[in-house]
Chains A and B, each alone.
Chain A
Amino acid sequence: MITLNINGKTHELDVEPEMPLLWVLRDRLELTGTKFGCGVAQCGACTVHIDGEAHRSCSTMVGDVQDREIVTIEGLPKDGPDSKVALAVQAAWQKLDVVQCGYCQSGQIMSAINLLTDNPTPTDDDINASMEGNICRCGTYVRIRHAIHEAAKDLA
């Protein structure tokens, strides 16, 4: 039995400890907002927060994160003081219509929240460095950069 704390809820799961968190989320818990893009920690589509840090769930074994707080895009706080960064990021994304196909965007947003939580006034270089692991095949990068600045302004 593996015990996971996901989006504030405890789940007891009969899975092997080596099973990647991504597939537990998607195939066992039907939390499909977290996406499969590469499976090898190259694209960031599967990004979730573990104890407040962005991690690649495709390359995280569930056995290693049993006593940790896991948050997926579905579990982002929607109100209260903890929700400020997430809501600002999502609002900026919507205001600038960042998305195209949208498939990478859950991961982009999870990484952007992580960046702005650590660094409320990122420069372009900071953004490039911290978002480098998130591929967008549709090439929405111009707007991702812009939206992160927009969210930062909003939070200031």
Chain B
Amino acid sequence: MLIQKSQTIAPSRRSFLKGAALSTSVFVLGSFVPLGRFAAAEGEAAAPAAVFDPNMFLRIGSDDSVVVLCKHLEMGQGVSTGLATLVAEELDADWSKVGFDFAPNNPKVYNNLFFGPYIGTGGSTSMANSWTQMRQVGAAARSMFVAAAAKQWNVPASEITVLNGVLAHASGKSARFGELVEVAMQEAVPTAVALKDPKDWKYIGQQLPRLDSKGKTTGTAVFAIDIRRPGMLTAVVARPPQFGGSVGSFDDGAARKVPGVVEVVEVPSGVAVLAKDSWAAMRGREALKISWKADKAETRSTDAIVAEYRDLAKTPGLPAAKKGDAAAGLAGSDSAEAEFLFPYLAHAPMEPMNCVIELTADGAEIWAGSQFQSIDDYAVSQVLGTTPDKIKIHTLLSGGSFGRRANASADWVVEAAQIAKAMKTKAPVHLLWTREDDIKGGFYRPMALHRVKADVKDGRVSGWQHTIVSKSIITGTPFEPMMVKEGVDATTVEGVADTPYAIENFSVEVHNVKTAVPVLWWRSVGHSHTAHVMETTMDELAHKAGADPLAFRLAHLKDGSREAGVLKLAAEKAGWGKEMPKGSGQGIAFHHSFGSYVGMVSEVSMVDGTLKVDKVIAAVDCGIAINPDVIRAQVEGAIGFALSAVLRNRVTLAEGVVEQSNFDDYEPTRIKEMPAVEVHIVKSAEAPTGIGEPGLPPLAPSIGNAVFSATGKRMRSLPFDLGALA
């Protein structure tokens, strides 16, 4: 890999853009080397003769190809297309020549500017943190080409134009990028670049086609699960039936007799069977006889855990937010306290967890849909007794994640490393989780219980007391110092404690529960439950006040705010308040998350006692819309992803054992359930913010509020109690 080789060269021009709007730990245009040399040394015959590599983010070939090095994981959210769009815009590249490769795991270059010195994708930050950086990359490269052409043609640089990868001068001279690669890479990297005026944008704001569409429609896109290394063995692991359990003793006699099974090793997470193919490994695992230890395991059932949550919710918790005097505001109120319950949820990305690991003389190479490369390489280096720079990660397309592949404990790559370390045969290992392993494997969206007492007086919220019980996602991870304050995990209370609604008397308290069930962020994290509580309660209060739910919300938001903007736009496009047929209803909700604002109106109908979500109209304000079609796709996708959590998904325990196992009892949304979706994007000049997650939170409450409008029944908990509607 050319670009990886180039990184071994000490960057010589790191000073570029110092003091620009970038974190100082990043150099935008750093080293560049004539990569033709390495191509020869590596014997890479297919490499272009010369490669323009002004920095680590861009390779331009003499064949005019423009390859953007993508520092974020492409898990479907369209980030590869998005980052390339920013570079291509300022470079004035020909989009048909643009492609991408994943960047190597060098944190000095490819860190997420919002995550400090770490490489990682998450929190819907990809476009936001790269917004200036990637445009600067394109602009700097463009200016080097212009400078080179100016010298060659003996004309002032200011008279040269660049259009679709072609430089031209009024004298009639013109040249393609590919023709100037050799000379352009001799140019000094500029010390400052001007970015285009937004009115001159050609690509930003347009619907450029996705760069990954072709491979993903022809079966040629390569995911980690498709990696085949010489001599590779597939590993599947038998893990304890209860979280916190461990291996007592095991008999692998029968397993070793299964044709194709090569080795059986014990690792901290269980017993791994290694075989020549996946099927043999699975059959070998079935033949294992293991007795498990459960002394430290979670052995309770869901009902018992919920009972603990309920008891806790009735006692004072840790203060998370306080304004005015909630108790005084509620004095004399006849409002009942309402309970909202949310289950554990599995991410269930379509590509099951898997990765390939190959030990090297002093470390390892890993092929994975790695989402937190800087955590994965560190965690594996700890297992192998080396340093992260000796762990080379080949990031690959990932078949979804929804948070699962971004794990502070790097559970699956660590498991692969432990297997590789324990093996006698030093073959490359492909660790494969089956769907059952995935659904039963933990790292769930934490179960959460909310209790809310709120009331209205004279059309306004008079008091709001809110208690949340959940397990902290962040405590015990490297993110704790940043995201846990005085025992309150920001991800437990986000969307409640920071509500934009003007509520004078407001208090939020938190209880952190302890359980061996491992929890993790699940698309939209805390907002996946908090939005439902906030927006269902606001709806209830609007009805109690006798007010229109839209008007009631607007009365508690700032006039002209972005919050009000998306609510109004969604309402207008949906024809809010229109006459609905009997048994049908509209519901509205709004939520702010990851810097973006989404308003939603859902339309539902009851057909023979069965709930049908007919249509969802969304209005989105995520700042400048870099690619409106990708934004629409993310909102459509968030709706499709989350609908099954509204309708049926839950992970439950019976004496600590997960009761669900595959897509039959943890069934994602199917096509016949998918509503029609309209996405309207607010025109904005603000810097871009997240879109992978913000489409999700308002879905459940907008549907729940529509169900109330259609049936008079409140759906406070998820999944909905559909039986109550029948």
Contacts and interface: CB of A to CB of B under 8 A. Distances in A.
A127 B643 CA distance: 19
Interface in B616-660: 629-630, 633, 636-641, 643
Nearest to A72: B219
Sorting the interface of chain A by its residue count into under 10, 10 to 19, 20 to 34 or 35 or more gives 35 or more
A27 B672 contact: no
B403 interface: no
Lowest 4 CB-CB distances: which A-B pairs, in order? A139-B640, A33-B219, A103-B399, A102-B216
B669 A141 contact: yes
Nearest to B221: A102
Given A28-B277, A39-B434, A102-B212, A128 B671 contact: yes
Interface of A: 16, 19-20, 23, 26-28, 30, 32-40, 42-43, 45, 72-74, 90, 93-94, 97-106, 109, 127-129, 131-132, 134-145
Given A23-B277, A140-B633, A101 B398 contact: yes
B629 A138 contact: no
Interface string B271-284: 00000111100000
B606 interface: no
Contacts of A38: 435, 662-663
8 contacts: A20-B279, A34-B219, A100-B77, A100-B400, A100-B633, A102-B221, A132-B670, A137-B641
B279 A27 contact: yes
A61 B707 CA distance: 45
Contact of B76 (A42, A43, A74, A100): A100
Contact of B637 (A103, A134, A140): A140
A147 B402 CA distance: 25
A32 B221 CA distance: 9
Contact of A100 (B637, B664, B671): B637
A139 B637 contact: yes
Most chain A CB inside 10 Å of its own CB: which residue of B277, B350, B435, B672: B350
Given A94-B214, A106-B219, 9 more contacts: A20-B279, A35-B351, A39-B435, A90-B217, A101-B400, A102-B76, A103-B223, A139-B637, A139-B674
Nearest to B641: A139
Sorting the interface of chain B by its residue count into under 10, 10 to 19, 20 to 34 or 35 or more gives 35 or more
B350 A104 contact: yes
Contacts of B669: 139, 141
A36 B225 contact: yes
Contacts of A20: 279
Nearest to B234: A27
B315 interface: no
A106 B214 CA distance: 11
Contact of B672 (A28, A102, A128): A128
A16 B672 CA distance: 38
Contact of B225 (A32, A90, A102): A32
B277 A135 contact: no
B278 A23 contact: yes
B312 interface: no
B42 interface: no
A105 B400 CA distance: 12
A90 B279 CA distance: 31
A19 B641 contact: no
B671 A132 contact: yes
A35 B225 contact: yes
A106 B221 CA distance: 10
A131 B671 contact: yes
B56 interface: no
Nearest to B74: A101
B209 A94 contact: yes
Most chain A CB inside 10 Å of its own CB: which residue of B218, B636, B639: B218
Contacts of B663: 37-38, 40, 42-43, 135
Nearest to B214: A94
A79 B132 CA distance: 44
A20 B283 CA distance: 12
Contacts of A100: 76-78, 400, 633, 637
B348 A137 contact: yes
Contacts of B674: 139, 141-142, 145
A109 B213 CA distance: 13
Contacts of A128: 671-672
Most chain B CB inside 10 Å of its own CB: which residue of A43, A109, A141: A141
Interface string B212-252: 11111111111101101000001000000000000000000
A121 B216 CA distance: 25
Interface string B343-360: 000001111100000000
A103 B277 CA distance: 21
B219 A97 contact: no
B399 A35 contact: yes
Nearest to A78: B218
Contacts of B210: 97, 99
Contacts of A28: 277
B215 A97 contact: no
A16 to B, nearest CB: 7
Contacts of A35: 223, 225, 350-351, 399
A40 B662 CA distance: 8
B269 to A, nearest CB: 21
